[in-house]
């Protein structure tokens, strides 16, 4: 009569499998999905190219079309405005990536990719985390190109390399936070086209009712507090301080007094809230 031999799991031999914990599994699965999305981006280079063209156009248009008519602290020198402008353009660029994140997730939903991932033994939140991380990598590439263009039009940093890195880190953190808003929009709408429209329509008031392009002190009295407490404005203000660029507007609003802390806190709050809502929406859609 034959006897059953012990498996590696029974004997503690080399074939014993060690199950990963929940966090380790989620991280590993998220990185796999991130790699998948990055490979997909390289196979559709026009996505990256178009993502680079738009912010470059904004830099050129605002610098050479509007720059001569803008005043920064009473100074109408176009070069001063270009240095004032760049932090706002950087912030606008990282947040406008939200529309792409939402459209990508909506496209995956529309094509039934959710059903394919649901059949795999993977963490549910990994699909969304992987997508947002891949978008963050693309956004970082766009910021590098945009910084080069900024230098070409006369933008300079004045507070050293390390503080400039800190400014870019805050900008990318804001972009990553906003990508979770895009993820929620992409999970909510039915088509990629609707996700693109829904991802942009709310971004225009967020970016323009801010200190990105003009001094909030020039705005109507009722709208100035909105601009000063705007998470977008906090990051722009922090970036200007760290870059050492002109136009660091002082006000009594706490985010403008402590822009670095305000930027970090706003971004982390947005990530916590919208990641929770997005994962919950994804689970209900995949149920």
Averaged pLDDT for residues 4-27: 52
Tell me the β-bridge partners of 72: 75
Domain edges within the chain: 22-286
What are the CA-CA distances from residue 232 to residues 129, 229, 237, 257, 284 (Å)? 22, 8, 9, 15, 31
Contact between residue 132 and residue 180 where contact means Cβ atoms under 8 Å apart: yes
Q: Quickly state the pLDDT bin for 16 (edges 50, 70, 90).
A: very low
Cα–Cα distances in angstroms (integers) from residue 105 to residues 35, 137, 181, in the given order: 15, 16, 12
Confidence of residue 138 (pLDDT cuts 50, 70, 90): confident
Return the top range by mean pLDDT from 60-64, 149-153, 245-249, 257-261. Answer: 257-261
CA angle at 84 for the pair 74 and 48, rounded to the nearest 5°:
155
Q: Is 67 exposed, middle or buried (0-12, 13-18, 19+ CB in 10 A)?
A: buried
Query: 158 φ, ψ to 5°?
Result: -130, 0
For residues 103-131, give the mean pLDDT. Answer: 75
pLDDT at 20: 52
Give CA 162 to chain center in angstroms: 21
Helix/strand/coil for 101: helix
Judged against a pLDDT cut of 70, whether residue 100 lies above it is answered with: yes
User: Above 80 in pLDDT, residue 236?
Assistant: yes
Mean pLDDT (the chain) is 81
| Whole-number pLDDT of residue 168 | 97
Residue closest to 285 by CA, chosen among 190, 154, 170, 209: 190
- For residues 125 and 279, is the Cβ–Cβ distance under 8 A? yes
In the predicted model, what is the mean pLDDT of residues 121-142?
Answer: 84
Average pLDDT of the residues in 60-88: 75
> Is pLDDT larger for residue 269 or for residue 129?
269
Strand-pair partners of 75: 72
Of residues 108 and 21, more confidently modeled: 108
pLDDT-based confidence at 44, cuts 50/70/90? confident
What does the alpha-carbon distance between residue 175 and residue 55 come to, in Å, rounded to a whole number?
14
Report pLDDT for 276: 93
Residues 174-208: tens digit of each pLDDT: 999 999 999 899 888 878 788 878 878 899 899 99
Residue 42 CB coordination number (10 Å): 9
- What token pair was written down for 172? 């990318």
Taking the C-alpha atoms of residue 177 and residue 24, their distance in angstroms, rounded to an integer, is: 22
What pLDDT band is residue 220 in, cutting at 50, 70 and 90? Answer: confident
What is the distance between the alpha carbons of residues 263 and 20, in angstroms, rounded to a whole number? 34
């Amino acid at each position: 009569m034959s006897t059953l031999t012990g498996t590696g799991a029974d004997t503690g031999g080399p074939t014993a499998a060690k199950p990963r914990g929940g966090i380790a599994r989620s991280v590993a699965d998220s990185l796999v999905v991130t790699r998948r999305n990055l490979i997909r981006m390289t196979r559709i280079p026009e996505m990256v190219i178009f993502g680079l063209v738009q912010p470059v156009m904004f830099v050129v248009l605002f610098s050479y079309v509007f720059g001569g008519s803008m005043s920064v602290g009473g100074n109408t020198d176009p070069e001063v405005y270009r240095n004032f402008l760049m932090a706002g353009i950087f912030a606008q660029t990282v947040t406008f990536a939200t529309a792409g994140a939402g459209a990508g997730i909506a496209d995956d939903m529309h094509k039934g990719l959710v059903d394919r991932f649901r059949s795999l033994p993977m963490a549910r939140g990994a699909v969304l985390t992987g997508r947002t991380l891949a978008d963050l990598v693309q956004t970082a590439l766009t910021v590098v190109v945009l910084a080069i263009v900024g230098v070409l039009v006369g933008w300079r940093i004045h507070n050293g390399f390390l503080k400039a890195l800190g400014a870019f880190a805050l900008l990318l953190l804001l972009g990553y936070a906003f990508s979770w808003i895009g993820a929620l929009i992409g999970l909510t709408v039915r088509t990629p086209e609707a996700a693109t429209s829904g991802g942009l329509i709310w971004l225009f008031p967020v970016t323009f009712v801010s200190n990105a392009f003009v001094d909030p002190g020039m705005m109507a009295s009722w709208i100035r507090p909105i601009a000063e407490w705007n998470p977008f404005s906090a990051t722009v203000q922090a970036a200007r301080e760290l870059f050492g660029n002109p136009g660091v507007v002082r006000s009594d609003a706490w985010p403008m007094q402590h822009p670095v802390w305000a930027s970090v806190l706003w971004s982390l709050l947005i990530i916590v809230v919208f990641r929770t809502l997005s994962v919950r929406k994804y689970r209900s859609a995949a149920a």
